[in-house]
Amino acid sequence: MPELPDVAGFRRVAEQATGRQVREVRVHDAQVLRGIGADAFQRALRRRYFAEPRRHGKWLLIATAAAVNASPAPPTLLLHFGMTGSLQWCAHGDELHQHDRLVFDFAAGELRYRDMRKLTGIHLAREQDEVDDLLAELGPDAQEIGTDEFAERLTRTRRRLKPALMDQAVLAGIGNICADEILWRARIDPNRSTTDLGAADLDRLHREMRAMLREAVRVGRVPDGASWLTGHRDEPDRRCPRCSSALRRMRIGGRSTLWCPTCQPA
């Protein structure tokens, strides 16, 4: 599932369209559109210019600019990538992938929204109020939140730590793989209650989260190298890359969770 680092990578893909005018919008599967039909979507974006994209949690937002004297006011594109979504920058004439649901055509190339399962999709907001409504239930972005606010939001209710980290209303952007990686780096058991965390635990957790996200955003995904927990998720004999203990896996909050019982004691 795309998480904050992946969407940061998609943002860099979308930057290739910054300042460029949409020549044509081709909707190959209208099921990825939310709250708008294909014809209206195409009319709203044709001949618009894409502004620099920005990210909040797992959402990517692309404001648009109008041609001179064009009306109505230019809308904002909001993309969510669900379980299998991505953005691809392709040359004209590149073969269309079977899961390319939407194509924005520019003079320099094509920006394609690719998604196999179509669990979420694309919104078009006409006004800033609509953008605010769509993002209203999200907490602060995990890459931007400060230490004090992080501690306050994480500990305001009694619950297990991993589900709290993944709750987008608490913190926007952290998914299953990021949460496991952060907790492993911070040496904290994912089953611990948020109310059992001391100031030192919270400070370390925030510090490791920021460091992990910084590295992962740089490459546009959670790295799966030998020194990362993620790199050992699918091994038949899963071993901790730090202490070589056998890793454990169980479901916490309905999600498959990997951790090291030696490095992350209860």
The residues annotated with a catalytic role in the active site are 2-3, 58, 255
- What tokens were used for 228? 């990362």
Count of C-beta atoms within a 10 Å radius of residue 167 = 17
Which residues, at least 6 apart from 100, have a Cβ–Cβ distance to it below 8 Å? 28, 88, 112, 113, 114
The strand ranges marked E within the chain are 24-27, 49-50, 54-56, 59-65, 76-80, 86-90, 100-106, 109-114, 122-125, 248-252, 255-259
- What's the farthest any 2 CA atoms get from each other in the chain? 65
CA 63 – CA 73 distance, rounded (Å): 11
Q: Is 222 helix (H, G, I), strand (E, B) or coil?
A: coil
Tokens of 144: 């931007």
187: left (phi over 0), alpha (psi -120 to 50) or beta: left
What residue has token string 């925030």?
206
